[in-house]
Amino acid sequence: MILILPAIDIKDGRCVRLVQGAPGTETIYSDDPVRMAVLWRGENAKTLHVVDLDGAFEGRMKNLDTLRRMIQAVDIPVQIGGGIRTYDQVKQLLELGLYRVVIGTAAIDDPDLVARCVKDFGARKIVVGIDAKNGVVMTKGWQENTGIEAVSLALNMKALGVCRIVYTDITRDGMLTGPNFEATKHIAQKSGLRITASGGVAGYEDLVRLQELEPFGVDSVIIGKALYENRFSCQALWRANERELDDLGPTRRI
């Protein structure tokens, strides 16, 4: 079964979701991203996908203390992306206890950084985020059009030793209109990489369709808004149970 990664996007210390990544479109879902991480763990998440939106927009990490507390609060792997542009930042995050680091803008601006990180930390620890709009890669918090085709970047990263990418269709992100199945399948087939899909999941039916892409290398999916807005029927039971709990701490770990 395809692995589901709940998304926790951090902006101004709060857990938010944006529409197509655009600043000013955020909906605040929690004032405490750490508590949200524990909640998703309590709902049996196996891995978390965290984005430092402040870091993505400013080009430098901004939420290290929150990340540190999050790692201490849950007992599952956490991967992080957003504003990671240097070797020292990657090293610091992995030493902090993050399981995997997602490199986005720097994969375009400094491909040697990707090669060095893969060599020093291993391909399992380094993922490249490819965020595309109409098939073209966008960077710097999805604000800059690079003119580079997503498949071309994927192949370039594969040549550097990358084994996995997070592929996001920006036009679907936060829209609840379903993933871009065709583009996701295309980049998986052409690159031969493992793919974590991202953007647009609206409910269970989308997961069934994504599961059909597993033979092509699509083995996981990041879900944000659909989870936060309770689009899955089982969530009503989970939330009813959680309302009766005073503590969402270690006792909620599976």
**Which residues are marked as active site?**
9, 131
Tokens 């990180």 appear where? 117
Phi then psi dihedrals of residue 94, to 5 deg: -70, -40
In this structure, what token pair is assigned to residue 198?
């991202």
Using alpha carbons, select from 64, 65, 110 the residue that is nearest to residue 89: 64
Rounded CA separation 129/137 (Å) = 10
Dihedral, CA atoms, 191, 112, 66, 17, nearest 10 degrees?
Answer: -40
Q: How far is CA 211 from CA 151, 175, 189, 227, in A?
A: 21, 20, 15, 18
127 forms beta bridges with 102
